[in-house]
Amino acid sequence: MDAESQRFRQITMKVLTMQLNSTSVMDIVAYGGAAIGMAVAVTEFLHGNLNLSGTLCIVLLSSEFFLPLRLLGSFFHIAMNGMAASDKIFRILDISEPKTGEKTLPEGGLDISFRDVHFSYEKDREILGGIDLQVPAGRFVSLVGESGCGKSTIAGILSGKNREFSGDICIGGVALGDVREDDLMEHVVLVRHNSYLFKGTVRENLQMAKTDATDQEMREVLKKVNLLGFLDTQNGLDTVLLEKAGNLSGGQCQRLVIARALLKNAPVYIMDEATSNIDVESEELIMDVIHEIAKTKTVLLISHRLANVVESDQICFLKDGQIKERGKHEELMTLDGDYRHLYESQMALENYGKEGNV
């Protein structure tokens, strides 16, 4: 950060120096030209070549002739910023498209397997240090651990966002690197806590998951997330949303995102902190929906709140980029390890102030 800050300072000072120099030149030309014009007008007046009204007119207008030059200089800094921005845009456009596979995933339930998977965002900092993970088809598996342990990184890898990994990852028996990107998106749905909702109507946002969805199908998924009643008091499926659904509460936004995911009807769902930053009532509703999905789909739940993962078929506790503990909730509590300590700490914090405590 120190090196980048120093480089940014040097570039900024270089731009400001160029702007100062150009502004100075423009000021000299503008005000110097105006002064010369005034001096010539006065001289001609003294020699009797101009009358008083003509002299005053030239004196008053002389500065106006040169002010556009000074304005041009003030636009120099804006132009430099535009050039820098365009360079970045073209640099992004010149990046070659990542190579994807040509295979498709089989229909039906899909199992997921990780074998000795490593991943790093930077060369000297490994996020995943040899992950071995099995998620059988139709099972409910949860990933837990403290922030920065690699939970969301695993979600990013499975959804095709993080590609530079080493090791073996298979979905439905097909290597992840061999799967076509569009086919992966059809079979694996990632729901984040900040999944985007676009400006438009509820109908338009839902149809992003299934373009030919009927009104009945959309109303059914909205009913499952307990959002249909509220929307019916507005304008139903034609309720207008602001950018990022700014006219809905956080819980309503997240329930709408999950309704869109349900409409996709994919065999694998990854819930990455889908219940964070929302009220308790909405969290309970969303967890009920996730448990319902887990009855028929493969669900990988990532949660910082351990109370949400108690009913999972398997819980994997990550620490330092590795799975340190795995098993059902009762088994992990019996181990008396990091999972139990974190669970009890969270429960103590959540129950603080209850039962007469102050």
Express each pLDDT in 199-212 by its tens digit: 999 999 999 988 88
The CA distance from 225 to 227, in Å, is 6
Highest mean pLDDT out of 9-18, 237-246, 273-282: 237-246
Sketch the domain layout of the chain as residue ranges: 2-93, 138-164+174-350
| Beta carbons of 219 and 228 less than 8 angstroms apart | yes
Residue found by looking up tokens 């499975």 in the block: 158
Q: What is the CA radius of gyration of the chain?
A: 31
Find all residues with CB under 8 Å of 190, minimum gap 6, and list them.
155, 158, 159, 270, 272
CATH number listed for the domain at residues 138-164+174-350? 3.40.50.300
pLDDT (tens digit per residue) in 81-135: 788 788 889 988 888 777 777 888 888 888 899 998 898 887 777 888 888 888 8
Write the CB contacts of 41 (distance below 8 Å, at least 6 apart in sequence).
50, 54, 55, 58, 59, 62
Nearest to 131 by CA among 160, 154, 155, 163: 154
pTM, 2 dp:
0.72
pLDDT at 216: 92
Q: Hunting for tokens 């676009």 — which residue is that? A: 198
